Structure formats: structure tokens, C-alpha cells
Amino acid sequence: MLLLLMLLLMLLLQLLLLLQQLLILLLLLLLLLLLLLLQLHLLLLLRCYCCCCCCYSCCYCCCCYCCCCCYCCY
């Protein structure tokens, strides 16, 4: 009986160690995904769009990440 109890305890300990390793692996994969997303975001920020938007006689030119023609000067 005592031997069976010790065997179950060892099995439980092995299971806990396996769960701990899986959790560490999952955290590392999550960190890798986060780094890849950050790298993608930085690449998008480094790419520059330039545009000029004209409203009547005034033209507004910009070079930025998001090029939109919302700005008009009067």
C-alpha cells in the first residue's frame, strides 16, 4: 500500500514537472510572437509614405506612416 502511494506521488510529481515545462514553452512562444509583432510594427513605421493634399490654393505635404488628406488650410 505504501509503495503504491509513493508511486502515485512520484507520478504526480512527474506530471507537475511536465506541466511546468509546457508552461515555460508556452511563455517562450508567446514572447517570440510578441517580438515578431514588434518587429513588424517597426518595419511598418520605418516605411515612409509621402503625399501632398491640395485644398483650393493651399497644398499640404507630409511624409508619415499614415498618409491621409484630412488636413486643409484656409
The better pLDDT of the pair 74, 14 is held by 14
The answer to whether residue 74 scores a pLDDT higher than 50 is no
**Residue 58 confidence (pLDDT):** 72
The better pLDDT of the pair 73, 38 is held by 38
Read off the amino acid at residue 37. L
Cβ-count burial 29-51 (b if 16+ within 10 Å, e if not): eeeeeeeeeeeeeeeeeeeeeee
pLDDT in tens, 5-62: 999 999 999 999 999 999 999 999 999 999 998 887 777 666 666 677 777 777 777 6
**Residue 56 confidence (pLDDT):** 73
